[in-house]
Structure 1
Amino acid sequence: MVIRAMDHVAIRVSDIERSSKFYMDAFDARWVLRPFDESGEGLEYALQGHRGAHCRVAFLGFADGGALELLQFTEPNNPTRPVHVTEGAIVHMGFQVEDIDEAVQRVEQAGGSRVWPEVSRLPVGGGEMWVLDPDGNTIQLHDVSFKDLMAGCLGAFPEADPSKAQ
């Protein structure tokens, strides 16, 4: 089977309105679906059988494709807390941006924060910065293409080249 695209990632948030505003202000996301309440069998199925769950759900889309699904659980009402990247199942989301410095500024203005004080300059050109959304979800920002990002990785780690597999 061929996968046509990775179309969305779902993340937990503590306040769906605040998080929606953050992604819209920082990254020009747009509503695909405004917040709605979800419960019942469909949600239980998606949550691997967790009975009695209830959440608010919203979908945000980005100009060049891809989407982010935001889930704010009201039942179970466990607090959303940042988990260190070495402990969580999802380490980060990667966003290609036009201008790294502007993107970092917009993240901070929208309520996010930097992980590191300065933008890293990449060997392939451009820059990279790691930021956190208001709930502590980690986002890698880079202003080079994914192809160029991988070329830089191959330059640093030539043993990772799949065409030279043993």
Structure 2
Amino acid sequence: MLHLTRVHHIAIIGSDYERSKRFYTEILGLKIIREVYRAERESYKLDLELNGQYIIELFSFPNPPARPSRPEALGLRHLAFAVPDVEKAKKELETAGIEAEPIRIDAHTGRRFTFFSDPDGLPLELYEE
């Protein structure tokens, strides 16, 4: 059996690099660790952290193919972020022009959560801790 210790990072490819960069840094508040342009691949790679933990690699590639990514599509279902107050976080998203679903209650934990999307429709969740 492998000895996994934690999730190292999540890689995301955006269709519009600057729009995705703004969303993940200015709307979600992730901090830039490093940004590299790889000329041979015509691609940016942006490393982002949350509270000192390396969490997301944001890529740009010329003409990436579309992939279904709604929560019930095959593959990655969604990326969830923990928040102390989901209602407050939802209002902050909406103030920034980001639409979020109505808040729901997890039937097993009693915790509140909501879904919203990044600029390319990747389903994201806010889950109240």
Q: Is the 8 A contact 2:69 2:76 kept in 1?
A: no
Partner residue, 1:54: 42
Task: Work out whether 1:23 is the aligned partner of 2:24.
Answer: yes
1:122-133 paired onto structure 2 within 5 Å: 122-123=106-107, 124-133=109-118
Unaligned runs of 5+ residues in structure 2 are none
Contact kept? 1:80, 1:135, Cα under 8 Å:
no
Aligned match for 2:99, one of 113, 127, 131:
113
Measured on the aligned residues, the alpha-carbon RMSD in Å equals 2.3
Q: Which residue of 1 aligns with 2:82?
A: 96
Count matched residues: 127
Alpha-carbon distance in 1 for matches of 2:78, 2:32: 22
Of the two, which has the highest radius of gyration?
A: 1
Does structure 1 retain, via aligned residues, the 8 Å contact 2:69–2:123?
A: no
Q: Percent identity at matched positions?
A: 25
1 CA distance for matches of 2:64 and 2:12?
14
Instruction: Give the TM-score of the pair, scaled to structure 1.
Output: 0.65
Runs of 4+ that moved beyond 4 A: 79-82
1:64 Cα deviation after fit: 5.8
Amino acid at match of 1:121: I
Structure 1: unaligned runs, 5 residues or longer: 41-52, 145-166
Contact 2:71 2:77 in 1 (8 A): yes
1:68 aligns to what?
A: 56
Larger relative strand fraction:
2
Query: Structure 1 residues 111, 16: CA separation in 2 closer, same or farther (over 3 Å shift)?
Result: farther
Question: In proportion to residue count, which structure has more helix?
Answer: 1
TM superposition shift of 1:78: 3.4
Aligned equivalent of 2:3:
2
Distance 1:81 1:112 in 2: 21
